[in-house]
Amino acid sequence: MIYSYIRVSTNQQSVKVQLDEIQRYCDLNHLSIDESIKVEISSRKDLRERKIDELLSKVKDGDILIVTELSRLGRNTGEVITLIDTLIKMNVEVRILKQNLFIKSKDPMNKMLITILSMFSEFERDIISQRTKESLQNLKDRGIKLGKKTGTIQTSKYDIDKDRIVELLTLGLSFRKVINHLGYGEVSSLHTYVKKRNLIHKLD
């Protein structure tokens, strides 16, 4: 079996970018993904919420796992190394496309390379975070107000189906049935979307 694991941090990002990258790799190498595990969640969440536990429960001896980059697998260097060690012990081959790493044995050189690359990824995230904080503080010091203007509405994944959502709700379908019909989303986020945009005046 060949699995792919795809994670994005927020619902403002799309899993499509990673899906397309993995698909291009598979097409070039005449491979076919048997199952993709996709999740929209921050790396700060636990293993269960990030579906890492689900992944480990599925893969078996001789399987292949494909991810776009190391940072998709864990929140820090230690977690990434632990997960890859676990997969190797299960005799699962791990293919990391961005770093061009194909790991299928307990090779000390592989472990050292993973450690170095993971540390650089973690360091890069820290640098970006620090620069963002410094930039925000600089704007505050200059008296510039931060945040969205009052009344600003962000784009949403539901925008493309807005008319259909209104139609289905008007017909009396519950939010859960609308989600089932759309094939994506969550009841709570759809409810918030409809309410903020005042798409229907009365919510059941």
The residues annotated with a catalytic role in the active site are 9
Contact (CB, 8 A) for 81 and 52? no
- Cα–Cα distances in Å, from 193 out to 14, 166, 176, 180, 197? 18, 11, 14, 16, 6
Contact (CB, 8 A) for 30 and 52? no
Kindly state the tokens that stand for 55: 């992944």
Contact (CB, 8 A) for 153 and 197? yes
User: At residue 36, what are phi and psi to the nearest 5 degrees?
Assistant: -110, 130
- Give the Cα separation of 127 and 116 in Å (integer): 16
- Give the Cα separation of 167 and 170 in Å (integer): 5
Q: What is the dihedral of CA 108, 110, 111, 116, to 10 degrees?
A: 130
Q: Report CA 127 to chain centroid distance, whole Å.
A: 21
